[in-house]
Amino acid sequence: MKIQDTHSALPLQAAPGAPSVRTREEEDRVTVQRTRALQADIDRAKLSAGADRAAQLRALELALRNGTFRPSPSQLAEKLLQAAELDARLRALFDRD
């Protein structure tokens, strides 16, 4: 059987309220404009944090060498408790298996 009339087929249409379908050209589009702006922000943050940390480490080293470093007992206790809590949580996670 040979089909003679091909014009009677109607084009497909999306149902009302259906989400629009992207064309292949829209899906394949890649941009780096936002990435460049974010990278600049990341670089600035790294430089700022690096300079502050380096200055703090130099001050700490100098205080240790001079014998003037006096750690805060409450800060030490807090750090020890945090470390113990973290250890307990990790053990609980691994002991479940």
Let me know: does 69 contact 60? Beta carbons within 8 Å. yes
Reported as a single tens digit per residue, the pLDDT across 34-44 is 788 888 888 88
pLDDT of residue 34: 79
Q: Is the pTM of this model over 0.85?
A: no
Which pLDDT score, from 0 to 100, does residue 6 have? 65
- Asked if 21 and 14 touch (Cβ cutoff 8 Å), the reply is yes
Task: For the chain, list residues with pLDDT below 50.
Answer: none
The DSSP 8-state label assigned to residue 21 in this structure reads P
| Residue 81, both tokens | 């408790």
pLDDT for 41 equals: 87
Q: Hey, where are the domains in the chain?
A: 31-95
